Chain A
Amino acid sequence: MFEHGTNTKERNLQGGAITSVNIVVAHGLEARPLISMLELQPEKTDGRYLVYSNSAGATLIVSGMGRDAVIAATNYLGEQQRDEDDRLRGWLNLGIAGHRTAEIGSAWLANKITEQISGASAYPPQLLAGFASCKVITVDKPETAYPEDAVYEMEASAFYEVATKFSTAELVQVFKIISDNSSNPVNNIDLAMVPTWISTQENEILDLLSKLEFLVTEYNVSHSLSPAYESFCARYYLTVNQKIQLKRLCQRYRAMGREADLIAMSVSASGTGKQLLQDLDSQLNGVSSR
């Protein structure tokens, strides 16, 4: 399985360095330990949601409980970040949950998410190694009987459905920490313990976030654009379609090891947008088999 090198402790990863990951939690109590763990600061928003972020780019939103709330909050955050070009972000739904037998405070990565009311299931790709995984069942009312050997909670299915519209499924994960089980049922939860249960999993959470971030970064680097792209866009009037063509041309120059040519052209070129695209294309296509 994909390990990408050393673990978090060895790399001494600091929460404040986590970038490009959105965390969606249902409740302020779940947010509290993450705010200090990731050195998050409150963001100014329109007041609909509490949103926190750190200087490196990690963002946390408090959605409220249940499927409708998480749909709205995940959409809200995704839409806010729409202008980030083609870059993707990781998405993590983190929160407390119940399980028939799992130990209180233990943590589980979802390998299957079933929405109880519809029976529909989704399967988050399991690219992040080293975490205990389990089926997650999203219910509309707290589950007290825990009929299946699964984690029960109230947001995951809705979160997953919406977050995968903003990112690719590999980068959308659900991580649940057990707050109740048959011996300590949901009505007896001591809410004051929520931050402690989450804090106790700090190493796991940071490890998970850093692995997620690693994949996000790799994706974004491989899809990044030459700075020449912005220079061209600033110098030429280009239609949406022409910008798409320009993007691909810039990628091709970089892939073919000719970014220096591209940058040189970005400061010297003149004429119309159409001519620019033709020039870039013919220069590239002049290089046939190598």
Chain B
Amino acid sequence: MFSAIYIEQEVAEFERVRRLLDRFPQVPQVICERYGQIFNRKSQNFRLQKKSPALILAKKYGSLVLPAPAGYGFDESNSYYFSHMLNCIYDCRYCFLQGMYSSANYVLFVNYEDFESALEDKIIENDGAGVYYSGYDCDSLALEPISSFCRHFVPVFSKFPDATLEIRTKSTQIRCLLEQNVLDNCVIAMSFTSQQAAIQWEHKVPTLEKRIEALRKLQQAGWKIAIRFEPLVLDGKHGESYRSLFKSIFSSLDVDKIHSVSSGLFRMPVEFHKRIVKLYPDEELFARPTSVADGMIALKNEDEDLQLMEIERHLFEYISPQQYYRCA
């Protein structure tokens, strides 16, 4: 599963770390001083590393709960994100993480208790409210059997009913959720692209059917679910590919109970795009014409507004406009 496990000296004796290492006696375990020695090094190649990533167990210092980027979420209230992990076990070609980090290794910050205190402080600072996103720098659930992220963090929010936790994922690792009490202020947000886009660009990601099935089970168990159509890659075909996607998803779920549905076009900071192009000069997605505004790069699409409207028109055949928002 991992090509190696690097362990920061400082966390080597953590109980959480010892338990984890015991599960991988066959994987080379290498002690390091700070994770940045491996993760932030120059002369690394994300694409090559993605073939066989290592796991880095580290302690996160500094700000653990950060303001969410503008336009990230569904709510006008104060929103924040926290990242117990950097990088993802899936390999979506459009993923901005490829341009954000020079290494494809997974960093798991194991000082969960510090994250927990930082979250509690932030929630208290917000009078018990706010929206807290997990899954910005990783997929929240994908490594659950190893990280026990949900098992630890979901109960934290049981103490703060007015604060919302959104767990963003493409994973079907939902057992941890099904095995614990449903929390009304926790939303599991599953991301989708069109079937065609998934085949072309979402490597190692569970199939559309399996993701829908996971959502169905979660909904049946009483969990709040949300759907994220991101990134939308317009194909000039009047949203046809999305039409069938919407049908597959919404015909399997109790639509009225869906917390929210959002869409967001493919876009990322110009610098990330530049780095990704260097990694994947042969990738068709990054060869497409682009436009730049405010430091962000997007695909240039003819009739973009029209195409988006078509997609939304198909969407509103299933959901109400009140359930929907467009990401900035």
Contact = CB atoms under 8 A, between A and B. Distances in A.
A170 B33 contact: no
Contacts of B6: 123
A285 B300 CA distance: 9
A219 B49 CA distance: 12
A8 interface: no
B45 interface: yes
Contact of B45 (A133, A165, A170): A170
Interface residues of B, number: 40
B282 A222 contact: yes
B236 interface: yes
B32 interface: yes
Given A222-B282, A289-B236, A123 B38 contact: yes
Contacts of B236: 288-290
Contacts of A135: 30
A127 B47 CA distance: 12
Nearest to A256: B287
A223 B2 CA distance: 27
Interface in A243-290: 248, 251-257, 284-285, 287-290
A223 B41 contact: no
Contacts of A170: 44-45, 48-49
Interface residues of A, number: 38
Contacts of A253: 287
B271 to A, nearest CB: 16
Nearest to B237: A289
B289 interface: yes
B77 interface: no
A290 B235 contact: yes
Contacts of B37: 121-123
Given A2-B3, A255-B287, A289 B299 contact: yes
B287 A252 contact: yes
A203 interface: no
Given A1-B3, A135-B30, A288-B301, A125 B44 contact: yes
B4 A251 contact: no
A119 to B, nearest CB: 9
Interface of B: 2-4, 6, 28, 30-33, 37-38, 41, 43-45, 47-49, 51-52, 54, 105, 234-236, 277, 280-284, 286-289, 299-302, 307
Interface of A: 1-2, 111-112, 121-123, 125-127, 129, 133, 135, 164-165, 167-171, 215, 219, 222-223, 248, 251-257, 284-285, 287-290
29 contacts: A1-B3, A2-B3, A111-B4, A112-B31, A121-B33, A123-B6, A125-B48, A125-B54, A125-B105, A127-B48, A127-B49, A127-B52, A129-B52, A133-B4, A133-B28, A168-B43, A169-B41, A170-B49, A171-B48, A215-B51, A223-B282, A248-B277, A255-B286, A256-B284, A288-B288, A288-B300, A288-B301, A289-B234, A289-B307
